[in-house]
Structure 1
Amino acid sequence: MKDTTRLIIVGGFLGAGKTTLLFNATQQLMEKGKRVGLVTNDQASELVDTSFLLRTKVNVTEVSGSCFCCNFQGFIDSVLQVKQEANADVIIAEPVGSCTDLSATLMQPLKENFNKKLVISPLSVLADPVRLADILNGGTAGLHPSAAYIFKKQLEESDIILISKADLLSKNELNTLKQKVEAAYPFATVLTISSKTGEGIQKWLKLLETNTKAGQRIIEIDYDKYAEGEAVLGWLNGSVTLSGKADWNKFVADLLGNLAAKIDEMHIGVGHIKILLENDKEYISGNITGSSKTLSIRGKLSNSDSVQLTINARVETTPEELDRLIKETLEGVTDTDIVTTIKAWKFLCPGYPKPTHRYKDVFLPK
């Protein structure tokens, strides 16, 4: 097993595109001969991100039931497990999208206690350009004010800010947004990336390889507001087997399209809604990160008599209302010839964040 492994932590709010970035970054690292491991995180199991990232054919471990910060031992156990099993050169960890205060609760204890086993890379925070622009203009990006507070705090504690989905903006729009971010957060290195085109990913990875200044600031956090920002979101994770003959591509389009239309009618904020429909060889994935305009689908499924549906939803409503919304929409697009078998289904509201560690000062090695 390698003596030291590089650990890359990629934060950022729900819907920023972290999982797609991890997928593409893993591919690029493997093409260079690197052994890569991944660690995902959520408040419940049945995570779309984990199922999707397993398609990279690398070792993926999931920390579920709490955020990395509130289960530091579970986090480090998973990191060291991946390090050993994969003999990894690089491990990329993706915290829960509604998590912040990572510098005080993750970066500092890692630097102090695990610097002989792990090389800690700068804290990268991914930001959706549309939400980011609205936040910089004093808005809430369509989110509850306390959820927007989390978004802003993630940016404040970052070492590197990655403006994602660069392909959605013109070159001038992207340059203008980058300049605004640099002015608002002068302490951070600001990069633009596109997981769709691959633009900027190699530059980001190269920066991580050469920069060891990780967790350079600890920010003030109002934990009551932080807790409210998470609690305004209902969370749902489900896993369902669908058996029968259907046009699965149309099924996904109808399911997400109907969900998006209902959310528009209800005028409620969305952290993200993710689905993954897969068989052994193929998959379709879909996302909603706001209004129906944000709906995106990729992949394709040919005829299959049985498929696995995984769905994760983070929406500004009660868990019970979210459960009703998802189930009713799913039933509405499921043909009568399709047999639906729920394997796992959980809806919840996150509890008050209680981190295992919280450093008051930046740890500086002697």
Structure 2
Amino acid sequence: MDKKRFMVVSGFLGAGKTTTMVALTEYINSIGKHAAIIANDLGANYIIDAEYSSRQNVEVTPIGGDCICYIPDTLIERINRLNKEPKDIVMSDIPGCGIGALDHVYGNLDKNHKDEFTLAPFTVIADPERLRMIMPEQADINLPEELKFLLDAQLREADCIVLNKTDLMSEEEVARYVKFLQEACPGIPVFPISAKEKTGLEALADYVLTAESRVNITDIGYGGPEFISAEKKMSWFNRNVFITSKDGIEFDGNQLVDDVIDEIRDGLIANKRNVPHLKTFAVGKENDYGKASLIGVDYDIIHDQELKENTSKLQLVINARAVCESDLLLDIVDEAFEVIAEKYNVKVKLFFNECFGMMDEGR
């Protein structure tokens, strides 16, 4: 029986895990091989990464409601499902700042399913802006000190590191970041790419299609006091709403989404909180869609795809991972939608909502 090649893609919030997986899958498919994606999220429904990926001409299946670290049977079933038509590789992300997948996922597959799976290099996507927290400048980017633990732990798990967003960097900056990563993670290959511009993918694709993970499981403090302290700072938020114009007049969906994001941003700033990653996915007329994101209250909104037409009806999904208590985060988002409803003269119908802290009782 031929083994199935599987790869986990880890990385900090907003590093571009989904964009990298889509770009890498598209490239692999373009050279006559076949790749597919599993989009994993702790939210129970409406996973933006799965919705967006499925519109990029790649094969994707979602796993929601839990991390692949803790549902091995579901993960194996999805890998096998995607391999009904044989794939050269199936890749999956892990939610948010997730660490521990090297042990929980690769360790389990290596120990109990060695004859079924070839484990491709455990791949960590690095965001140059967030790396500044642990580089010599020790930059303050308005995230709690506790989150440095998560970033450092992710790099320690890596079989290879992908320095993403090189389109935003000079050649000198790329060289400096690569040098830092090589010194911080000796012996680990570093691949500078731009997933957005689809550059640097050839060497990365060749590596993940041919190399294998060391499955070098070491103690990174998972479940320890530093891990718990970092996770206590974070909350998840997922909401799906349907927005309709009260008077039938079409509105600019792109501007409405930007205003929702800015209202949430203002609420977080007023409460001295932050959002390392907020994503929105909006669908207007005839599957006209837009995707926007925010990687912190101090950053500009990123538009991966904009709506092409004004509309009188809009489905909007928001996924967020915030440095904010869950109750406060829920209040901030509710207030944002109240402002938007009045400003645009629209009705906002709630279809799905969840907001929880990782340490909330009953989670």
Q: TM-score, normalised by structure 2?
A: 0.89
Counterpart of 1:15 in structure 2 is 14
Aligned residues: 350
Q: CA offsets, 1:80-115, max 9 Å, x none?
A: 22223x543321101112211222211122223333
1:312 is aligned to 2:313: no
Question: Relative to structure 1, is the Cα distance of residues 351 and 267 closer, same or farther in structure 2, using a 3 angstrom cutoff?
Answer: closer
Question: Which one of 279, 300, 309 corresponds to residue 306 of structure 2?
Answer: 300
* Distance in 2, Cα, partners of 1:184 & 1:346: 38
Q: Which runs of 4+ in 1 moved over 6 A?
A: none
- Quote the offset at 1:141 in angstroms: 4.9
* Distance in 1, Cα, partners of 2:160 & 2:355: 33
Counterpart of 1:363 in structure 2 is none
Counterpart of 1:260 in structure 2 is 265
Q: CA offsets, 1:32-63, max 9 Å, x none?
A: 23333211222212221111111134442222
Gapped regions of structure 1 (runs ≥ 5): 353-366
> Partner letter of residue 332 of structure 2?
L
* Distance in 1, Cα, partners of 2:57 & 2:112: 30
Q: How does 1:238-277 map to 2 (within 5 A)?
A: 238-244=239-245, 245-277=250-282
Counterpart of 2:288 in structure 1 is 282
Q: How does 1:134-283 map to 2 (within 5 A)?
A: 134-137=133-136, 138=138, 141-224=141-224, 225-244=226-245, 245-279=250-284, 280-283=286-289
- Quote the offset at 1:251 in angstroms: 1.0
- Quote the offset at 1:250 in angstroms: 1.3
Question: Which one of 300, 311, 325 corresponds to residue 332 of structure 2?
Answer: 325
* Distance in 1, Cα, partners of 2:145 & 2:170: 29
Question: Relative to structure 1, is the Cα distance of residues 294 and 190 closer, same or farther in structure 2, using a 3 angstrom cutoff?
Answer: farther
- Quote the offset at 1:341 in angstroms: 1.7
- Quote the offset at 1:161 in angstroms: 1.1
- On the 8 A contact 1:261/1:292 being kept in 2, the answer is no
Question: Relative to structure 1, is the Cα distance of residues 235 and 213 closer, same or farther in structure 2, using a 3 angstrom cutoff?
Answer: closer
* Distance in 2, Cα, partners of 1:27 & 1:222: 33
1:346 is aligned to 2:347: no
- On the 8 A contact 1:133/1:177 being kept in 2, the answer is no
- On the 8 A contact 2:258/2:301 being kept in 1, the answer is no
> Partner letter of residue 237 of structure 1?
N
Answer with 207-216 or 11-20: which moved more. Answer: 207-216
Structure with higher RCO (Cα < 8 A, 6+ apart): 1
Give the RMSD, CA atoms, in angstroms.
2.1
- On the 8 A contact 2:251/2:344 being kept in 1, the answer is no
- On the 8 A contact 2:7/2:121 being kept in 1, the answer is yes
* Distance in 1, Cα, partners of 2:228 & 2:64: 18
* Distance in 2, Cα, partners of 1:129 & 1:87: 35
* Distance in 2, Cα, partners of 1:41 & 1:15: 15
Question: Relative to structure 1, is the Cα distance of residues 125 and 177 closer, same or farther in structure 2, using a 3 angstrom cutoff?
Answer: same
Gapped regions of structure 2 (runs ≥ 5): none
- On the 8 A contact 1:6/1:91 being kept in 2, the answer is yes
* Distance in 1, Cα, partners of 2:57 & 2:199: 23
Q: Percent identity?
A: 23
Q: CA offsets, 1:7-47, max 9 Å, x none?
A: 12110111111111112122222222333321122221222
